[in-house]
């Protein structure tokens, strides 16, 4: 509520503690960070130059969310849904995250796997407004000035891709920008990381996709992918530029790089920067969690299992490495653990029997002939990377070890309930992913401080309260001052007359 202040002769003697804004009028509506649509209050409209620029009705965020969900139900095409949802993000950021959190189970497959892959393949055709930072190999020697062009001064998390291996679709070049954008949406929706602290980046060194090189709507360099030393120099310069502007503890997540580059960059940078590769380490953590859940179902330790992989790419090797670590914790020698890992390049293994199934993309429930209903688990990295990222950011970590992902994997498994198991799930319900991510962040934060890996001091006593109190909320803030700080020369605060 606004109040008249008796005895105050000038508004310049007051300092506001509420949300600080510079714009008035239409810029507030055009900025997705400040736009609330028809949820601006009457007083906000009067004081901020919005009166008459909006219909007279004052709406709640609940009504706005209801309108969105009603409109979405009318759509059947996944790409159309993607365009509609991401359009909300362009107009009203807090409403966008509100609707994601309302129904994350239904909307995550649209903003992330699998629809984001379709969106990436059509990125130039559905392009409306640029998001993120684009850096090309032509920019070598000037990367820091490009990073300086980003308007946010306090970025905490960067997700970067070079577009060479987008999901199972291969080389999509600059079209791969949809992946960092989608990942960072989940940073916020699942773990409450402030959206203004997140930066999606696409590195453009060309593409070997001939279809894109003939596509008139392609938005990147029309050249074959540069695989020379210039490429490595570009990535080096990028890492220096990001940490030079935002600090050495800025989290840099590598995403959908080609297998060869993914592994060597992880080896190259993991001890120099606060970085991880989600395809290798995030996938490994969520897969290991599924295996740890199997322990609960069949009652045998992971160290007693033999694990068969079809293929030996980034994900498989990352998973295998983390499984070996888990077996070693159970008392199995490293060499013996390696003997229990098998990798095949093609053809699977078929057996007859009660199947424990999970996949990265959602599947419909399966009803057996005997009437039992099983719900396939979604072994999706989204269970892992948001919570890990939140813990890393809040703890000011400079390097991320594989043990962090082992702890995250354990924390995920611990949240699997008996009810989940009875339904055939190997992971908690996706609808609970915000709480799951929070608990993972608390577990990892405890681990980081216990092992002297955190650089944020003083160390918070209650890690759970610490994590939860710093998670971004999607409810609307008042854009008007409501709390005042009295000037030092004032003998006593003026009386407030309602």
Question: Are 117 and 219 contained in the same domain?
Answer: yes
Domain boundary residue among 218, 249, 273? 273
Catalogue the E-assigned strands of 88-243.
Answer: 133-136, 157-161, 198-204
Closest Cα to residue 388, out of 248, 187, 154, 249?
A: 187
Counted residue by residue, the chain has a size of 498
pLDDT digits over 350-378, tens only?
Answer: 444 576 777 777 788 888 777 878 887 77
Question: Are 328 and 423 contained in the same domain?
Answer: yes
Question: Are 163 and 90 contained in the same domain?
Answer: yes
In a domain, 20, yes or no: no
Strand partners, 374: 366
Q: What angle do CA 413, 352, 417 make, to 5 degrees?
A: 20
CB 295 within 8 A of CB 301: yes
In a domain, 93, yes or no: yes
Please give the pLDDT value at position 299: 84
Question: Are 90 and 170 contained in the same domain?
Answer: yes
What is the chain's mean pLDDT, rounded? Answer: 88
Please give the pLDDT value at position 470: 95
Residues with Cβ within 8 Å of 299's Cβ and at least 6 positions away in sequence, in order, are none
pLDDT digits over 277-299, tens only?
Answer: 999 999 889 989 988 888 888 88
Residue 38 has pLDDT above 60, yes or no: yes
Average pLDDT, stretch 323-338?
Answer: 89
pLDDT digits over 294-316, tens only?
Answer: 888 888 888 888 888 877 777 78
Question: Are 384 and 404 contained in the same domain?
Answer: yes
Question: Are 266 and 288 contained in the same domain?
Answer: no
**How far are the Cα atoms of 164, 295, 419, 430 from residue 416, in angstroms, in the given order?**
35, 12, 8, 11
Question: Are 255 and 389 contained in the same domain?
Answer: no
**How far are the Cα atoms of 164, 350, 356, 466 from residue 353, in angstroms, in the given order?**
39, 10, 10, 46
For the CA atoms of 31, 37, 42, 45, what is the dihedral angle to 10 degrees? 30
Question: Are 410 and 367 contained in the same domain?
Answer: yes
Burial of residue 331 (CB within 10 Å: 0-12, 13-18, 19+) is exposed
Question: Are 196 and 254 contained in the same domain?
Answer: yes
pLDDT digits over 424-449, tens only?
Answer: 888 998 899 999 999 999 999 999 99
In a domain, 484, yes or no: no
Give the percent of the chain with pLDDT over 70: 90
Residue 19 has pLDDT above 70, yes or no: no
In a domain, 498, yes or no: no
Q: What is the largest CA-CA distance in the chain?
A: 84
Burial of residue 239 (CB within 10 Å: 0-12, 13-18, 19+) is buried
In a domain, 44, yes or no: no
Count of domains in the chain? 2
How confident is residue 486, by pLDDT bands cut at 50, 70 and 90? very low
How confident is residue 9, by pLDDT bands cut at 50, 70 and 90? very low
Please give the pLDDT value at position 2: 31
Q: How far apart are the first and last CA of the chain?
A: 9
Active site residue 495: no
Number of H helices, E strands in the chain: 20, 15
List the CATH number of the domain containing 184: 3.40.50.10380
In a domain, 147, yes or no: yes
CB 198 within 8 A of CB 106: no
Q: 10 Å Cβ neighbour count for 27?
A: 14
Question: Are 258 and 123 contained in the same domain?
Answer: yes
How confident is residue 17, by pLDDT bands cut at 50, 70 and 90? very low
Please give the pLDDT value at position 303: 83
Active site residue 112: yes
Please give the pLDDT value at position 346: 58
Please give the pLDDT value at position 379: 81
Q: Using omega within 30 degrees of 0 as the cis cutoff, is the peptide bond preceding 458 cis?
A: yes
Question: Are 385 and 308 contained in the same domain?
Answer: yes
How confident is residue 188, by pLDDT bands cut at 50, 70 and 90? very high
Question: Are 244 and 297 contained in the same domain?
Answer: no
Catalytic residue among 97, 112, 231, 476: 112
Residue 239 has pLDDT above 90, yes or no: yes
* Phi and psi at residue 4, to the nearest 5°: -90, 135
Please give the pLDDT value at position 377: 76
Greater confidence (192 vs 495) lies with 192
pLDDT digits over 85-104, tens only?
Answer: 999 999 999 999 999 999 99
- What is the bridge-based pairing of β-strands 15-16 and 484-485? antiparallel
pLDDT digits over 106-157, tens only?
Answer: 999 999 989 999 999 999 999 988 999 999 999 999 999 999 999 999 999 9
Burial of residue 126 (CB within 10 Å: 0-12, 13-18, 19+) is middle
| From 42-46, 307-311, 382-386, the region with the lowest mean pLDDT | 307-311
In a domain, 452, yes or no: yes
Domain boundary residue among 251, 273, 295? 273
* Phi and psi at residue 342, to the nearest 5°: -125, 140
Q: Using the 8-state DSSP alphabet, how is residue 207 labeled?
A: -
Handedness of CA 441, 286, 166, 239 (dihedral sign): positive
Residues with Cβ within 8 Å of 67's Cβ and at least 6 positions away in sequence, in order, are none
CB 172 within 8 A of CB 265: no
Domain of 169, in residue numbers = 62-273
List the CATH number of the domain containing 429: 3.40.50.720
Domain boundary residue among 273, 298, 317? 273
Please give the pLDDT value at position 64: 97
Residue 186 has pLDDT above 50, yes or no: yes
Please give the pLDDT value at position 350: 42
For the CA atoms of 413, 418, 419, 420, what is the dihedral angle to 10 degrees? 20
Closest Cα to residue 18, out of 469, 484, 467?
A: 484
Catalytic residue among 36, 81, 94, 183: 183
In a domain, 479, yes or no: no
Mapped onto helix, strand or coil, the DSSP state of residue 298 is helix
**How far are the Cα atoms of 223, 247, 362, 405 from residue 157, in angstroms, in the given order?**
30, 11, 27, 17
């Amino acid at each position: 509520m606004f109040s008249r202040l008796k005895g105050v002769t000038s508004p310049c003697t007051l300092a506001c503690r509420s949300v600080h804004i510079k714009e008035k009028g239409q810029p507030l509506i055009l900025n997705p960070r400040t736009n609330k649509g028809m949820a601006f209050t009457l007083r906000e409209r009067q004081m901020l130059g919005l009166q008459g620029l909006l219909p007279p009705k004052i709406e709640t965020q609940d009504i706005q969310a209801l309108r969105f969900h009603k409109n979405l139900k009318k759509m059947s095409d996944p790409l159309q849904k993607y365009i509609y949802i991401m359009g909300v993000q362009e107009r009203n950021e807090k409403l966008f995250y509100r609707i994601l959190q309302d129904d994350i189970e239904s909307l995550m497959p649209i903003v992330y796997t699998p629809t984001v892959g379709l969106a990436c393949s059509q990125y130039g055709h559905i392009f409306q407004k640029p998001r993120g930072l684009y850096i090309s190999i032509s920019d070598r020697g000037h990367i820091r000035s490009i990073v300086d062009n980003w308007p946010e001064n306090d970025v905490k998390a960067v997700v970067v891709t070079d577009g060479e291996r987008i999901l199972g679709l291969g080389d999509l070049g600059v079209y791969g920008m949809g992946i960092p954008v989608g990942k960072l949406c989940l940073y916020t929706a699942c773990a409450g990381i402030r959206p203004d602290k997140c930066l999606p980046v696409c590195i453009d060194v060309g593409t070997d996709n001939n279809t894109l090189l003939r596509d008139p709507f392609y938005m990147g360099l029309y050249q074959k992918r540069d695989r020379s030393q210039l490429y490595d120099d570009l990535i080096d310069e990028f890492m220096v530029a990001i940490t030079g502007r935002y600090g050495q503890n800025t989290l840099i997540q590598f995403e959908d790089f080609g297998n060869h580059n993914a592994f060597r960059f992880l080896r190259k940078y993991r001890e120099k920067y606060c970085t991880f590769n989600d395809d290798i380490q995030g996938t490994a953590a969520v897969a290991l969690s599924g295996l740890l859940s199997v322990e609960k179902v069949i009652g045998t330790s992971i160290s007693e299992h033999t694990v068969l992989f079809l293929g030996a790419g980034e994900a498989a090797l990352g998973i295998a490495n983390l499984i070996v670590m888990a077996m070693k914790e159970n008392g199995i020698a490293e060499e013996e653990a390696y003997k229990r890992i098998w990798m095949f390049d093609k053809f699977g293994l078929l057996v007859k029997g009660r199947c424990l199934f999970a996949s990265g993309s959602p599947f419909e429930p399966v009803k057996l002939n005997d009437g039992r209903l099983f719900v396939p688990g979604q072994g999706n990295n989204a269970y892992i990377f948001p919570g890990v990222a939140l813990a890393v950011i809040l703890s000011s970590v400079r390097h991320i070890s594989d043990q962090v992902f082992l702890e995250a994997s354990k924390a995920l498994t611990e949240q699997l309930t008996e009810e989940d198991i009875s339904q055939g799930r190997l992971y908690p319900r996706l609808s609970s992913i915000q709480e799951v991510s929070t608990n993972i962040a608390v577990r990892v934060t405890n681990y980081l401080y216990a092992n002297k890996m955190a650089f944020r001091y003083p160390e918070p006593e209650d890690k759970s309260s610490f994590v939860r109190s710093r998670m971004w909320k999607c409810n609307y803030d008042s854009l008007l001052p409501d709390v005042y700080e009295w000037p030092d020369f004032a003998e006593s605060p003026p009386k407030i007359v309602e």
